[in-house]
Amino acid sequence: MTRIGEAVQLGHAGDAAGARRRFAEIWEDVGAGGDPLHRCALAHYAADVQEDPDEELRWDRLALAAADELGDGRARAFHPALDVTAFYPSLHLNLADVLRRLGDAAQAGHHLQQARAAVGRLPDDGYGQMIRSGVERCAARLEAGDAS
């Protein structure tokens, strides 16, 4: 998780290419069958630094698949407050948004519906508000046919 955090920081510092390289290196070490917590976090953040929306979609799908394998026991072993179900609103929002941008309104709508169904599990804090407003912005763009 430390290495994943370092790659996230590269992306936040504006070095998206460096972050992409670092995420790819870490993925090679973790492997497709590795710890689902590591795969979920890595893929979730790797999607954010992709230039190609198809690659972003690939990483977002990997994050969701890893979350589906991740149990609360493993998540809480990392941090006692982690609740896997709280991952889903953001994971589905990210999928909805990239699918919207790729022009797949039906699948975007499906993931948007999943995100909406899961937002109740989020706390009423800054993070929860950010995800809820992201869901509404994505919904408005999808309804308007905005693929930008």
pLDDT digits (tens, 9 = 90+) for 87-110: 999 999 999 999 999 999 999 999
Tokens of 10: 């590269």
> pLDDT confidence of 75, banded at 50, 70, 90?
confident
* Token pair for 27: 């993925």
Instruction: Please check whether residue 86 is in contact with residue 94, taking contact to mean a CB–CB distance below 8 angstroms.
Output: no
pTM here is: 0.93
pLDDT tier, 81 (very low <50, low <70, confident <90, very high otherwise): confident
Report whether 121 contacts 85 (CB < 8 A): yes
Q: Any long-range contacts for 71-80 (C-beta under 8 Å, 24+ apart)?
A: 74/35, 74/36, 74/37, 75/37, 78/1, 78/37
